Amino acid sequence: MSSLSVISGKTSEEIARKLSKKIKANLVKSSIKIFPDGESKITLSGKISKKKSIIVQSIYPPVDSNLIQALSLISKTKEISSEVITVIPYMGYARQDREFLPGEIVTMKVLAKLFKSVGASKIITVDVHSLIGFNYFTIKSKNVTAIPDLVKYFKKLSLKNPLVVSPDQGGKERAREFAREFDLDFIALHKKRDRKTGKVKIITKNVDEVNGRDLILVDDMISTGGSIINATQFLKKQKCKRVFVACTHALLMNDAERKIRKAGVTKIVSTNTIPGKTSLVDISNTIAKAIK
């Protein structure tokens, strides 16, 4: 029996399968029964290593159910393994990392306590929305980026004089890193969000450098796609050519994919941290390196 096991949560079966092959670990699968009241019961099949286990479970919608399942997997594994590395490719609640308005609960602080209390030895995430949340963790935590994997994919496309664009100033560093990896230029748009209504508008003036060029809009995650839609509509008015979207996590809530395409995006490319039609880039290799 391998001294290493990978325990596959239901949300990350593909990554877990590929990861187990890459690190030559024994794969333990989980099956889930959902009861009429919404409770879930997890059953594991396979031998869990006594030494070291790696759990892989993304926490995307339904976020609370998938979080409880992740915690349950850690708890069960800790009964057998002395070391439990927990890989959360997509970390739900990462945007709730500080108190924005008085009385708001910082949910990442709660998660930090939960992961520790059930027995996680280390947490590994991919392009977590904010590293501030990691300040609450007392166990080891590591964030890896999918940017090199995404760039590798985009290099295979025949793009016309491409330019990397961040839809806002918040994602400027990500766009810079993507552009550096690709050896391209980048720009970042300025947007303004109303804290109460959530409405966003772009306040950048004319951007001449996008004229006649293919653009790669880079973001860490797409939830409802509002930022991407606004940016695309603005950039199309500036006479750019095609608009591509590169993101790590494609949540694509509320029919976002259709709305983004309607806004004029040619292709959405995301990783398999959240499985779906757009998840064309595998990040199991990057996770394997982080574990080694």
DSSP for residue 262? H
Please report, for residues 70, 72, 132, the alpha-carbon distance to residue 137 in angstroms, rounded to integers and kept in the order given.
16, 19, 10
- Asked, for residue 211, whether it belongs to a domain, the answer is yes
> Could you tell me if residue 264 is inside a domain?
yes
pLDDT at 208: 86
Consecutive H or E run containing 29: strand 26-34
- 277 within domain boundaries: no
Q: What does pTM read for this prediction? A: 0.93
On whether both 11 and 137 belong to a single domain, the answer is: yes
Residue 19 lies in a domain: yes
Can you give the residue range of the structural domain that contains 215? 147-272
Q: Are residues 64 and 130 in the same domain?
A: yes
171 and 91 within one domain: no
Same domain, 203 and 192: yes
Indicate whether 49 and 155 sit together in one domain: no
Statement to judge: residues 164 and 219 lie in one domain:
yes
Q: What residue ranges of the chain have pLDDT lower than 50? A: none
Total count of domains within the chain = 2
Structure tokens at 222: 């797409």
25 found inside a domain: yes
What is the structure's pLDDT at 140?
A: 96
- pLDDT for res 206: 67
Q: How many helices (DSSP H) and strands (DSSP E) are in the chain?
A: 8, 15
Catalytic positions? 191
Do residue 136 and residue 154 come from a single domain? no
Q: What is the pLDDT of residue 1?
A: 52
One-letter amino acid at 155 equals K
CATH number, residue 48:
3.40.50.2020
